[in-house]
Amino acid sequence: MDNFRNIGLIGRLGSGKVVDTLRRLKRFLLDHGYTVILEDAVADLLPGHQQQVCTRKMMGEICDLVIVVGGDGSLLGAARALCRYDVPVLGVNRGGLGFLTDISPDELEQRVGDVLAGKYMVESRFLLDAFVRRDEEQLGSSEALNEVVLHPGKSARMIEFELHVDGQFVYSQKSDGLIVATPTGSTAYSLSAGGPIMHPKLDAVVLVPMFPHTLSSRPIVVDGNSELRVLISKQNGIYPQVSCDGQVHIACAPGDTLIIRKKPQKLRLIHPLDHNFYAICRSKLGWSSRLTER
């Protein structure tokens, strides 16, 4: 187990509940002899904190553990920044569904204390790298823990594109776009668009068409190491966008190419020992309980 001494704190901005939880967490960690390092944006929320402050990038270099207080969106942003430093990340849920941030504020001290005592499990979650190219020029790039989405932006018109997987032509399509989701993202936007739920341990990617102009288009699951190329038709009358985790946006033009592949670095996501993916699905997605008691 990792020996956690320097612990970084990241929190969602604009929430009084997050600030309250950050204060509790800081007090708990300091009382137990840990070094607390605050992200610069969080430090402004805690006047008089008297703790070390650093950027998110530096936090990845000097921390043994980073705790994110907020919703899944907060953890997505942290994951994209921290995965390259191999620092483990723990999420405290102060958001909505909380598929990734699974520690409840009501159990904060007990659950965090268990993790610091070595009672935890670690999951490796892979991310996607997305690149937009025009001829040989790279226009933009980003990574995504949940999904990369090609979509029409503010336009209501369809996009025409070609999909290639590992150099093999798959199909041409007219639709509102394409969602390329990891197993982590299969319970997010992909699920809303009719994609399958994928267990986080799967090494696979799902491609989900968005309102395709054909009844035969269905989600496709491919190997996680596949290279995907989406060629945006030159005949398009709109300029679509590529969004990564719904937080980073890259503008595209007709004729551009979107390339997606697995990121070499992975996110180390920490959970309490009783973490159960299926139990989370039952709770968050409202699945029915067992028919009979045993």
The residue annotated as part of the active site, out of 72, 102, 245, 256, is: 72
* Cα angle 272-70-36, degrees, rounded to a multiple of 5: 75
Three-state secondary structure call for residue 176:
coil
Measured between alpha carbons, how far is residue 192 from residues 51, 186, 220, 245 in Å?
Answer: 41, 9, 15, 14
- What is the rounded CA–CA span in Å between residue 60 and residue 243? 24
Three-state secondary structure call for residue 190:
helix
- What is the rounded CA–CA span in Å between residue 40 and residue 22? 13
Binding residues are 72-73, 146-147, 157, 174, 176, 187-192, 247
| Residue among 35, 23, 14 at smallest CA distance from 105 | 23
Binding residues for NAD(+) are 72-73, 146-147, 157, 174, 176, 187-192, 247
Catalytic-residue membership of 256? no
Active-site positions? 72
